[in-house]
């Protein structure tokens, strides 16, 4: 757990293999909060092996050493303050666990990015992320300018930032996705390496921003349909687009590129083993084994999660073709059943997204008086969208699946989770029939 110092501390830092290492602490009476926060940064930095050449920047902050950014940048100051007060949903309850007489590992808590269920806190080791940092490094031949989007309470943004700091790169943080000034500043930063979600891509596309310097884009946190992939290509015209599949519990499972067959989430990420187990008709459960897996939930449980001889499943289903490509079969909660007929929710959402001025879409079902279900939809708009145009996009959809109501919501009011995904629960709560 964090140390409770009665007074501030000055920390001496040495270089070891070009990584930050906290070697000793000297106490003296001074500004408690600043030095305590600095200690926490260095503690986390030591356990994640931050590179001494790494730099951090935002709209209002030129690239600088991450610990120096505490006092200079408000967002980082607030972030570290949350850490020190044990209120940060990502790096909290940070501890060191002894593995033997000489080695210790860092264990930290991250938050899942679920859309329809309550997010859970998971415990994982720092090494489980560091192992994948080194794999990503193999794609990089020189210094990179990383670009990450969103709140640091989301694991993808935090992961991208910590990876850049570990590998000795410069990372530019866009904290507010809806801030045009922050997005324009990212262009001047000339990013070469980007972590982003499909929803964030759709939002950025509405600002008509192009980042030609980017060479690699890693997309996670949701499906990448053909329209969103085309948006990504317009924003990052010179980049290889990688879609990775995984979860907060498993980290990376697969990775794809421009050569991956349509409908597949790619092949196994390096050092990941994947197998499928037939559990019933059209039920092929996905199992994963790797060095990237989490330890356990900090609180609560998941009925779909099972450990077995080092293998982990989170209850998702799929199939692997003879070339090793993984194809996902939808989870039950993504299927909409009406009048004994079934459709995947994304089939309706993807159609709605083809309408002009529609940036995002969400679909869900509600129970009617006959104990059957009817479908409700919402779209994020960036301009005028006539209702008949929306329904025109659904001409090829069976009429029983056409939404009884399509709510049109301004892009600025579209609810997002810290993970960058659409907040389905908020939509269900605020927008009824």
Q: What is the pLDDT of residues 53-71, one digit of tens each?
A: 888 888 877 887 766 766 6
Q: Judge whether residue 201 has pLDDT over 50.
A: yes
378 occurs within a structural domain: yes
Burial environment of residue 85 by CB neighbours within 10 A (0 to 12, 13 to 18, 19 or more): exposed
Q: What angle do CA 285, 291, 293 make, to 5 degrees?
A: 50
Q: Is the same domain home to 171 and 269?
A: yes
pLDDT of residue 71: 60
- % of the chain beyond a pLDDT of 70: 72
**Domain endpoint, select from 305, 329, 353:** 329
What whole-number distance in Å separates Cα of residue 100 and Cα of residue 152?
Answer: 32
Q: How far apart are the first and last CA of the chain?
A: 48
What whole-number distance in Å separates Cα of residue 86 and Cα of residue 90?
Answer: 10
Q: Kindly give, in sequence order, each residue whose CB lies less than 8 Å from that of residue 421, ignoring residues fewer than 6 positions away.
A: 113, 115, 197, 199, 221, 222
Q: Is the same domain home to 341 and 322?
A: no
Res. 105 pLDDT band, cuts 50 70 90 = low
Looking at 4-131, which runs of residues are DSSP E strands? 9-16, 19-27, 55-58, 61-64, 95-98, 104-111, 121-125
325 occurs within a structural domain: yes
CATH number at residue 232: 3.40.50.12780
pLDDT of residue 379: 93
**Domain endpoint, select from 313, 329, 345:** 329
Q: Is the same domain home to 317 and 405?
A: no
Query: Is the backbone of residue 311 left (phi > 0), alpha (psi -120 to 50) or beta?
Result: beta
Q: What is the pLDDT of residues 211-246, one digit of tens each?
A: 999 999 999 877 777 788 889 999 999 999 898 998
User: Using alpha carbons only, how large is the chain's radius of gyration in Å?
Assistant: 23
Helix, strand, coil percent values for the chain (each to nearest 5): 25, 35, 40
CATH number at residue 407: 3.30.300.30
- Give the number of other Cβ atoms within 10 Å of residue 98's Cβ: 9
**Domain endpoint, select from 307, 329, 351:** 329
Token pair, residue 43, equals 């503690």
Q: Is the same domain home to 198 and 241?
A: yes
pLDDT of residue 32: 42
Average pLDDT over residues 235-259: 90
Average pLDDT over residues 199-206: 87
Token pair, residue 357, equals 């001025």
pLDDT of residue 155: 74
Domain around 426:
334-430
């Amino acid at each position: 757990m964090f140390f409770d110092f009665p007074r501030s501390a000055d920390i001496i830092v040495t270089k070891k293999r070009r990584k930050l290492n906290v070697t000793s602490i000297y106490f003296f009476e001074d500004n408690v909060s600043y030095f305590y926060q600095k200690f926490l940064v260095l503690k986390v930095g030591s356990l994640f092996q931050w590179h001494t050449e790494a730099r951090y920047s935002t709209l209002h902050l030129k690239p600088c050493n991450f610990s120096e950014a505490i006092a200079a940048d408000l967002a980082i100051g607030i972030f570290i303050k949350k850490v020190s007060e044990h209120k940060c949903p990502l790096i909290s309850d940070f501890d060191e666990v002894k593995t033997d007489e000489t080695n210790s590992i860092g264990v930290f808590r991250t938050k899942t990015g679920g859309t329809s269920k309550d997010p859970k806190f998971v415990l994982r080791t720092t090494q489980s992320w560091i192992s994948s940092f080194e794999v990503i490094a193999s794609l990089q031949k020189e210094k990179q300018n990383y670009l990450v989007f969103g709140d640091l309470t989301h694991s993808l943004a935090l992961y991208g930032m910590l990876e850049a700091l570990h590998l000795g790169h410069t990372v530019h943080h866009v904290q507010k996705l809806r801030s045009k000034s922050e997005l324009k500043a990212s262009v001047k930063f000339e990013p070469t390496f980007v972590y982003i979600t499909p929803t964030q891509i759709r939002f950025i596309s509405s600002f008509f921003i192009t980042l030609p310097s980017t060479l690699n884009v890693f997309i996670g946190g949701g499906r990448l349909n053909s329209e969103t992939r085309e948006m990504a290509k317009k924003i990052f015209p010179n980049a290889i687009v990688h879609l990775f599949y995984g979860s907060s519990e498993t980290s990376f499972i697969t990775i794809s590129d421009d050569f991956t067959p349509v409908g597949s989430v790619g092949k196994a990420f390096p050092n990941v083993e994947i197998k499928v187990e037939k559990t019933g008709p059209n039920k092929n459960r996905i199992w994963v084994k790797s060095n990237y897996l989490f330890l356990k939930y900090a609180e609560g449980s998941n009925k779909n999660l099972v450990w077995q001889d080092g293998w982990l499943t989170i209850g998702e289903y799929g199939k692997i073709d003879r070339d090793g490509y993984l194809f996902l079969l939808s989870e039950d909660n993504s299927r909409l059943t009406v009048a004994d007929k079934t459709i995947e929710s994304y089939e309706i959402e993807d159609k709605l997204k083809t309408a002009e001025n529609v940036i995002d879409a969400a679909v869900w079902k509600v129970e009617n008086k006959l104990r059957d279900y009817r479908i409700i939809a919402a779209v994020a708009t960036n301009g005028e969208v006539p209702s008949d145009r929306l329904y025109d996009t659904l001409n090829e959809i069976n009429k029983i699946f056409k939404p009884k109501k399509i709510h049109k919501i301004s892009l600025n009011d579209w609810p997002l989770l810290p993970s960058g995904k659409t907040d389905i629960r908020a939509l269900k709560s605020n927008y009824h029939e």
